[in-house]
Amino acid sequence: MQRTTHRYLQVDVFADRPGAGNPLGVVLDAAAWDTERMQAFAGWTNLSETIFFLPPTTPDASYRIRIFTPRQELPFAGHPSVGAAWVALHTGLIPASDRLVQECAAGLLPVRVEGDGLQRTIHLRAPRAYPMEVTPDPPERDTTLASLPTAGLPAALWNNGPAWWLVELRDAAAVRALEPDLPAIAALTQATGAIGLAVFGRASAQDDHDLAVRAFCPADNIPEDPVTGSVNACIAAALTAAGVLPGTAGRYLASQGRELGRDGRVHLEVDGEDEVWIGGQVQWVIDGQVTW
């Protein structure tokens, strides 16, 4: 295949400063790229996700993206989606607006925009999450959970595009101190078709956030993901279903990535229809060209 040159950006998502949050690779004008080419490039960046902008297939969409980890394509992922809306506006790919619609493999997702420029904040409605029945219960589940200080909600597999094992720990301190058994997590996720396992715990009243979160995807070559929008949306859905949502008036703040030196902040909102919105800031780090 002939090499072509495209504008390439890298941004930090769910970040209040460069170097925080989760880095995202972005290729603009990738209409001529096929799946194999996108997957190869995403493997080369070795970021947790890389996105590719394509022409929308419907006039209802403001823009369209495909999302790839180093090993597979995802129908939806949170930090790529929040980052995509910010990049589409920042680069002038679409006209400025406070209401957008993202097209991705998970469908058409509404986006709300607050502010402008580098202070712009993106809020995106995640696909509706649902619990998945796992039958028969794999032996890897008990092996993996046995070493975790679980509390609160029972461990469960939830899906909002990707599937995530969600495990509540006794508090945020237990989340921070956890030394994950990555081989066990990889075995569990591979046995159940999940992309990873996430742990979460409630913060103390002295913290500046309501929930601490960590997410592990060793089978996808991502031992720990810095900040994960899809998993935070799944957690919010699970907490809403159980009637134990933290925060006030359906809103709370999650902290993820501190253990990797990338302390990110995810704004969660559950609206009156129990739809989960994920939001945050984006930081522009790299703007250049890629030849591939």
What is the H or E stretch that residue 177 is in? helix 172-177
What is the H or E stretch that residue 270 is in? strand 264-270
Nearest to 137 by CA among 178, 165, 175, 179: 165
The pLDDT profile of the chain, 292 residues, written as one tens digit per residue, is 689 999 999 999 999 999 999 999 999 999 999 999 999 999 999 999 999 999 999 999 999 999 999 999 999 999 999 999 999 999 999 999 999 999 999 999 999 999 988 789 999 999 999 999 998 889 999 999 888 999 999 999 999 999 999 999 999 999 999 999 999 999 999 999 999 999 999 999 999 999 999 999 999 989 999 999 999 999 999 999 999 999 999 999 999 999 999 999 999 999 999 999 999 999 999 999 999 9
**Catalytic residue flag (residue 49):** yes
User: Vertex 249, ends 237 and 273: CA angle to 5°?
Assistant: 50
**Domain-wise residue ranges, the chain:** 5-125+280-291, 130-274
Q: Is 5-125+280-291's fold the same as 130-274's?
A: yes
| CATH number for the segment(s) 5-125+280-291 | 3.10.310.10
Rounded to two decimals, what is the model's pTM? 0.95
Residue of 36, 49, 140, 269 marked catalytic? 49
CB 138 within 8 A of CB 191: yes
Beta bridge partners of 202: 211
Phi and psi at 14, nearest 5°, equal 60, 40
Q: How far apart are CA 235 and CA 244, in angstroms?
A: 11
| CATH number for the segment(s) 130-274 | 3.10.310.10
> How far, rounded to the nearest angstrom, does the alpha carbon of residue 267 sit from its chain's CA centroid?
12
